[in-house]
Structure 1
Amino acid sequence: MHVLAKTMAGLGLALAVTACVPVEAPDPGPAPGPVNQCGALDLQYLVGAPAAQLDTIRFNKPVRVIYPDTAVTMDYNPDRLNFQIDRTGLIARVTCG
């Protein structure tokens, strides 16, 4: 019984010391770029316009037009313009990514 008590005491001490080890914070990844890097803030006037209007505009950035129920990749490109189209065919959001 005496051996069991020593083993339990040693185990308790080991657990107590382990609990005091500092944990490193996870890497936050790359710092986000400028909020308007792709120019989306300048195009907010298009919100509410028909999606067909995008065919008349020439963009100097990559563009992704996202319709409802359309699968899109989850990669983030801060230079890419995203136009989200609602079910009525109107531009609902203009974002970077």
Structure 2
Amino acid sequence: MKKALIVAFVLTAFAVAACAPVAPLPGVPTGECSAKGLGDMVGRYATPSLVNRAKRRAGASVARILRPGQVVTMEYLNGRLNVNVDEKNRVKSFTCG
């Protein structure tokens, strides 16, 4: 009986420990996108390097370029940066989702 109680206690402790949140590593995108502070990139050409810099600065895990008239999916992804460009591939705005 005593042995069963100890086993139950140990298993419960492991289950509780497995549910504990893990802090993100420093410098790694958290997947929580914030387009604030990207205004200095508006008006520039949406090159791969600019999009990657914007993605890192926004904390996004993924980025996509949205062109005028392009058909896009409407699902909301918290960690996605949307780069809205004009016909000449210049950045008009950044949004998250």
Q: What's the TM-score, normalizing by structure 2? A: 0.53
Identity %: 33
2:44 to 39, 45, 49: 49
Residue in 1 that maps onto 2:78: 78
Aligned to 1:28: none
2:35/2:95 contact within 8 Å kept: yes
TM-score w.r.t. structure 1 length?
0.53
Show the 5 A alignment for 1:29-44: 37-44=32-39
Give the AA of the match of 1:88: K
Corresponding residue of 1:66: 66
Cα RMSD for the two superposed structures: 2.0
Q: Which amino acid aligns with 2:89?
A: G
Listed as ranges, the gaps of 5+ residues in structure 1 are: 1-36
Deviation of the 1:56 alpha carbon = 6.0
Distance 1:79 1:48 in 2: 23
Distance 2:52 2:79 in 1: 20
Structure 2 gap segments, 5+ residues each:
1-31
- 1:27-73, CA deviations, whole angstroms, 9 ceiling, x for partnerless residues? xxxxxxxxxx4021122221111112525636352111111121110
1:19 corresponding residue in structure 2: none
Matched residue, 1:96? 96
Q: Give 2:93's aligned amino acid.
A: R
